[in-house]
Amino acid sequence: MPMIRYLLVRLLGALPTLLAIVTISFFLIRFAPGGPFDQARALPADVVANLNAAYGLDRPLWDQYTTYLRDLAHGDFGPSFRYKDFSVTELIREGFPVSATLGAIAIAIALVAGVGVGVVAALHRGRWIDHATIGLSVVAIAVPSFVLLPALGLLFGIELHWLPVAGWDPTSVRDYVLPVTTLCLPPLAYIARLTRASMIEVMRSAYVRTAFAKGLPLRTIVLKHALRPALIPVASYLAPAVAMTMTGSLVVETIAGLPGIGRYLVQGALNRDYTLVLGMVIVYSTLLIAMGLVVDVLIAALDPRIRLEA
């Protein structure tokens, strides 16, 4: 019961947050210069007027806002202004599996590899493997995705001809390698550094020293006594890691030509496609809010001293 009550309270509390995000985004994109029907060649005034009337853009802004909220409450994200044969819901349904697949694989690899590397570095503190971990993590964090992906594509795609540099085939494993690598490296580096620092602190604690004094093997001490509390900072970082992966997906999907929602968000922002941008913002915001809830539950599971009902 306490867990269910906690989840319900958090979900109800997320609704005002999501409403505030939708409201700010709705008015912000409309106050930006330009419009959805501005093109390189100017359209006749009567054509623009007909388009504005067809999409309801000739009505007062507050009326547009209330109409959008009413449609949104019924699950209707509205029509896309630039992808005229598709609704925003259809574009989300088409692009979300691509972005979700790449993001989930990247986070899973970053979590498993980052924790493993961090534990090894902590157990070999001050040695070459520890220094190498710190150095490589700094490089992985410092190099932005818009530099890393072209560099990897130039090396493994153009020079070595091992991997495709663009395009998307969900049945081909080779198409996943470069985008997933680009997305997972920054969070992997952060997770490795967090795990290393937390593991070093936990290994100095009294109960770990007691376990060593009892003659327990290092493997047992690490897996059964030290790893669980050391993962609490990593669990806290999962929400920012997901946000970092989402931000990276905007660049990766645009450069590699992947049909994900990150690419649609970038194109929608450039084309002033109001409904498309709002739909993608809602999807991203909902994912981040849900991830924050998952992180709270994970932290409570890792540390029994934390009570969610509090």
pLDDT in tens, 158-184: 888 888 888 788 888 888 999 999 999
What pLDDT score was predicted for residue 41?
60
* Residue 52 forms part of a structural domain: no
Confidence of residue 3 (pLDDT cuts 50, 70, 90): low
pLDDT of residue 108: 94
Give the pLDDT band of residue 223 (cuts 50, 70, 90): confident
Q: For 131-172, give the DSSP string.
A: HHHHHHHHHHHHS-HHHHHHHHIIIIIIIS--S-SS---TT-
Q: What is the pLDDT of residues 94-134, one digit of tens each?
A: 889 999 999 999 999 999 999 999 999 999 988 998 899 88
Q: What is the mean pLDDT of residues 283-310?
A: 76
Q: Is the pLDDT of residue 139 over 80?
A: yes
Q: Is residue 79 part of a domain?
A: no
Give the per-residue pLDDT at 305: 64
pLDDT for 33-90, tens place per residue?
777 777 656 667 777 778 778 778 888 889 989 999 998 888 888 888 888 778 899 9
Is 43 within the bounds of a domain?
A: no
Position 241 in a domain: yes
Nearest-5° Cα angle at 209, 203 to 215: 115
Give the model's pLDDT for residue 10: 76
- Looking at every residue in the chain, the average pLDDT score rounds to 86
Phi then psi for residue 260, to 5 deg, are -105, 175
Q: Which percentage of the chain shows pLDDT scores above 90?
A: 22
> Can you state the angle between helices 2-31 and 61-73, rounded to 10 degrees?
150
pLDDT for 307 equals 56
Look up the pTM and report it. Answer: 0.84
pLDDT of residue 42: 67
Does residue 106 lie within any of the structural domains? Answer: yes
- Any domain includes 161: yes
Per the domain annotation, does 51 fall within a domain? no
Considering its fold, how many domains does the chain have in total?
A: 1
Mean predicted confidence (pLDDT) in 3-30: 84
184 lies in some domain: yes
- Average pLDDT of the segment spanning 242-256: 86
Asked if the model's pLDDT at residue 186 lies above 60, the reply is yes
Count Cβ atoms below 10 Å from residue 241 Cβ, excluding itself: 25
For residue range 231-246, list pLDDT tens digits in order: 888 988 888 888 888 8
pLDDT in the model for residue 196: 94
Which pLDDT score, from 0 to 100, does residue 39 have? 64
Give residue 33's pLDDT.
77
Long-range pairs of 36-43 with CB within 8 A, sequence gap ≥ 24: 36/81, 36/82, 36/271, 36/272, 36/273, 36/274, 37/81, 38/272
Q: How confident is the model at residue 214 (pLDDT cuts 50, 70, 90)?
A: confident
**pLDDT of 179:** 93
Q: What residue numbers bound the domain in which 161 lies?
A: 88-200+233-271
Quickly state the pLDDT bin for 225 (edges 50, 70, 90).
confident
Answer with the residue of higher pLDDT: 9 or 135: 135
